[in-house]
Amino acid sequence: MWVNWGFNMSWNIFSGFETNRRMSNAKLEAENSKLAYLDIEYEIMGELDLLYNTYLNNITVTNFEAESAELARASLEIAMERYRLGSLSGLEFREYQNNFLNAINRRLTALYQAKISEIGLRLLAGELTE
């Protein structure tokens, strides 16, 4: 009985630089993935900054509208006194009333917008769940 053992090994000496090309492609894919991650991160940070600045602006507008409503109320009180004394017509008095109601409406709208911005920030921060 004859036993024959063999071992065969081959190594491709010239692969047309396929290995180098694959390594270069892998490096480029890794760099592209890193850039895509950074792009998404910067996009999220930009949205967060925009949402925060919108919130701050809405708070500022709310403060201005509160002052405006107070001034409109004071004007309405002065107009009421003038109307009672007869130096203001009913139509002019109605204009003061409309100005007061518009100021109150703007204040409420500003408060609503500020609250919407606050809720958006809290959702983003994870303090609230949908």
| Contact of 58 with 114, CB cutoff 8 Å | yes
Domain ranges of the chain: 38-124
Close Cβ partners of 54 (under 8 Å, ≥ 6 residues apart): 117
Q: What pTM, to 2 d.p., does this model score? A: 0.68
The rounded Cα 84 to chain-centroid distance in angstroms is: 50
pLDDT at 1: 64
pLDDT tens digits along 29-76: 999 999 999 999 999 899 889 999 999 999 999 999 999 999 999 999
Over residues 105-123, the mean pLDDT reads 93
Distance (Å, whole) CA 9 – CA 66: 86
Amino acid in position 112: Y
